[in-house]
Structure 1
């Protein structure tokens, strides 16, 4: 199992929900953090929390729907001189639930794809080559298990696209010590999931982060966090080894 102590992880959407749980857990394992949100005011509290846990951390702001801000954020991260060893592409948006889905507007797709697919892939394209140069890295792209719900077509389609490019890159990285995998938190009671979701957001640990700790040089897996609920991290890493790779 990977020891992440002293490594640097970028967590998008780190101020709340699943991203907040990721940040706190990684800090508990000694991992230094780059905490993203749309505003530095949003990450103020979690930044204080993780620093109090003894790790280095800083926060950075970007609106992911604005790709010029995404570019500026990546440039700022590189100027800071700290490598992105682990990338958690967690931030996402669910535009609306369209009961009359025959009237789904174009904007549901265009905005969803920019935030949920294009922005995370821009981060992958920037930081994965540098991981390859260093000989080590982990990328965990947060996906969704939504199926057969045209009411959420923009969201689910954007996540399906993220699945595809993650799988395709996984096929190129497989067998190296730079691993890219998908993690599905399940339907959780977060701002995105809403109050009627069946799962407590704390249940995503350790499954949502297990991709950062695997050490078998396998990529392209779809890891359902709820399948790991109640397990120790060590147990979760062992279980993840048996998950199939999407590109095979």
Structure 2
């Protein structure tokens, strides 16, 4: 199992929900954090909390729908000369539920792809080559199990693109200590998932982070978080090794 103490993780969407839970969990295991949100003030609370746990933390901001802002954020991180060892591409947007899906506006696809896919690809293309140079890296891309719902076509299509991107890129990393995998948190009661979701945010732990601790040099897997609910991290890692790409 990977020891993350002293390593650096970038978490997108770190101010609330699953990103917040990820930040606190990683900090408790000694991992330093770069906390992303749309505005710096949004991550002030979580920054204070994780620093109180004894780790270093910095906040960065970017509207992920704006490619120039994503690039500027990455430029800022590189200027810090902080080696990013772990990436949690957690942030996402879920466009309105389109009951009359035949009239789905193309803007749904545009915004969904810019945030849920293009921003993630931009981050991966910038940071993974440096992981390869250093000989270590973990990337966990958050996907969704939504299917057969054309009412959410923009969101589902963007996540399908993310799945394909992750699995294809994973074939180039297989057998190395730079690993890229997917996690599906399940339908959780978050701002995105809504109050009627069947799962609590806490049920996604340790499943949404287990990919950061795996050490079997396998990429391109889907690690459904709800399969690990209630498990210790150590047991979750053992179970995670059984999943195939």
Tell me which interval the TM-score lies in, with the shorter structure as reference length: over 0.9
Distance apart, 1:12 and its partner CA: 0.1
The within-5 A match list for 1:31-180 is 31-180=31-180
Mapped to 2, the partners of 1:103 and 1:41 lie a distance apart of: 37
What residue number does 1:217 align with?
A: 217
**For each residue in 1:103-134, what CA deviation from the matched residue of structure 2 results, as whole angstroms up to 9, or x when unmatched?**
10000000000000000110000000000000
TM-score of the aligned structures, taking structure 1 as reference length = 0.98
Deviation at 1:239, TM superposition (A): 0.4
**Secondary structure at the residue paired with 2:60?**
strand
User: Can you list the C-alpha shifts for 1:56-100, whole angstroms capped at 9, x where unaligned?
Assistant: 001000000000000000000000111110000000000110011
Q: Deviations over 1:22-64 (max 9, x none)?
A: 0000000000000000000100100000000000001000000
Following superposition, the deviation at residue 244 of structure 1 comes to 1.4
Answer yes or no: is 1:244 the counterpart of 2:240: no
SS at match of 2:164: helix
Aligned residue number for residue 5 of structure 1: 5
Unaligned ranges ≥5, structure 2: none
Inter-partner Cα distance in structure 2 for 1:101 and 1:240 = 37
Residue 19 (structure 1) aligned with residue 19 (structure 2): yes
TM-score relative to the length of structure 2: 1.00
What is the DSSP-based 3-state SS (H/G/I as helix, E as strand, rest coil) of the residue aligned with 2:153? helix
The unaligned stretches of length 5 or more in structure 1 are none
Following the alignment from structure 2 to structure 1, what is the Cα–Cα distance between the partners of residues 110 and 42? 25
Partner of 2:190: 190
Q: How many residues align?
A: 245
